Amino acid sequence: MDEFNQGPRKEEDKQDIHNQEPEGRKEPQNLQEPEERKEPQSLQEPEEPEELEKREEPIRYRESPTKSKRRGGFLPALFGAILGGLIVWLLMNFTLDKENVSPQVGGETTGNNNLTSERVSMDINTDVTNVVSEVADTVVGITNLRTVRDFWSATETTREGSGSGVIYKKEGDKAYIVTNHHVVENAEELEITFDDGTKVDGRLVGSDMWTDLAVVEIDAAPVKTVIEFGDSDALKRGETVIAIGNPLGLGFAGSVTMGVVSGKDRSIPIDFDQNGTVDWQADVLQTDAAINPGNSGGALINLAGQLIGINSMKITQSTVEGIGLAIPINIAVPIIEDLEKTGTVQRPTMGVSLFNLEDVPTSERRRMLNLPEEIVEGVIVTQVFRNTPAQAAGVQQYDVIVEMDGEKITDMVGLRKHLYNEKKVGDTMTMKVYRDGKLIDIQMELRDGNTF
């Protein structure tokens, strides 16, 4: 009965007895005699099998519990591994099935492993895209239509020039656009093209050559919104700006370029009559935002969507890249208001013609003007017109103007800027002039006119 209960151990018993001798299969005897192990007998004496069995029995009972524990830990581990593998297999199948049935947009399968790439439409919004969408409807294209007559063939052709403009005001049934003077110069007809392609006729209200600004009036019906004026004096170098316009014509209408404010208070010499003499110094903003022909009159805006400049020109020398120029809005606003109200810019005048002292030879300065040697800069009065502020104030021919209202005058450009930018019609101006080698003061009341 004891041998039957110990059945699971028979395999190990057989293995141990086989390794020793075949005679070791006899029934165990007297397990209560541990002292027999102290004196092991030689396995070569077959005549004492009982001693051999007594020696083997303790070994069998000592090893059996250990073997049983190992067998009991293996089976649960095996079962856990099988169960874990089954769970992983089920999860993988579930994931693959889910991917196979999910909709794909523009999927493409490549290779032998059925790898799929997807084209997904994303709606991306940034500060730039938001600002452009807000002001896009305020920037328009302006087409300058004028008829050119051929003297020899007596034929007429229509030439088109294009530029840009910005809608800044809507009042009643009229709306107003600011653009550049050179965009609308000599125009017989003006055609305005909106961002959505709508076309209307425009009427020139007025323009100003000196600041290169003009105002155009249109019907207010198609106007959806107007742009807000910003503060160009508050701009910082490195601040992000966006230029919107129609470079190279309406084929590129609504083009957007981005850059930074490269510099402020730049003065650019302008020669209006192309005679080699500088007539004016234009005060402009410098930016590296791309400004090309057709961008003229378009908007230069900040990231708040405010108009801070009117795109005007670009330096096109072969050695220069990335210098665009815009008229600061703080300079433009007073001119725009005058043009809208009267069609012209009322500027103060003295009633004289002038010449730069630096262009006169040194010998003539001494012989005709009797100037001190240290006086090398100033403006010469070459003629005084009748019934003008200059004549009333006592200005004489060959007087040399060296100062106005405490500001040093070195040439005609400086004189013109002081007169046009600092003074208004009706103001009183004080000048210092050299006459026959002596410095004298002159005061005059300025009036409106078309000359200096």
Identify the bridge partners of residue 404 per DSSP, sorted by sequence position: 407, 431
Read out DSSP for 204-223?
Answer: EEEEETTTTEEEEEEESTT-
Residue 290: name the closest of 258, 326, 317 by CA. Answer: 258
Q: How many CA atoms lie within 13 A of 280 on its CB side?
A: 17
Measured distance CA(14)–CA(24) in Å, rounded = 9
Measured distance CA(359)–CA(367) in Å, rounded = 15
Q: Which two tokens stand for residue 366?
A: 């001494």
Contacts of 391 (CB under 8 A, 6+ apart): 351, 384, 385
Q: Which two tokens stand for residue 19?
A: 């390794």
Is residue 182 annotated as a catalytic residue, yes or no?
Answer: yes
Using alpha carbons, list the distances in angstroms from residue 34 to 31, 82, 340, 364.
Answer: 7, 46, 127, 145
- Selecting among 164, 181, 208, 212, the annotated active-site residue is 212
401 — phi, psi (to 5°)?
-80, 125
Measured distance CA(297)–CA(215) in Å, rounded = 10
Read out DSSP for 131-177?
Answer: HHHHHGGGEEEEEEEEEEEETTTTEEEEEEEEEEEEEEEEETTEEEE
Q: Which two tokens stand for residue 13?
A: 């018993």
Read out DSSP for 233-260?
Answer: GG--TT-EEEEEE-TTSGGGTTEEEEEE
Measured distance CA(258)–CA(325) in Å, rounded = 14
Is residue 212 annotated as a catalytic residue, yes or no?
Answer: yes
- Selecting among 162, 164, 181, 182, the annotated active-site residue is 182
- Selecting among 162, 232, 262, 296, the annotated active-site residue is 296
Contacts of 439 (CB under 8 A, 6+ apart): 402, 432, 433
- The owner of tokens 């001798």 is 21
Looking at the annotation, which residues are catalytic? 182, 212, 296
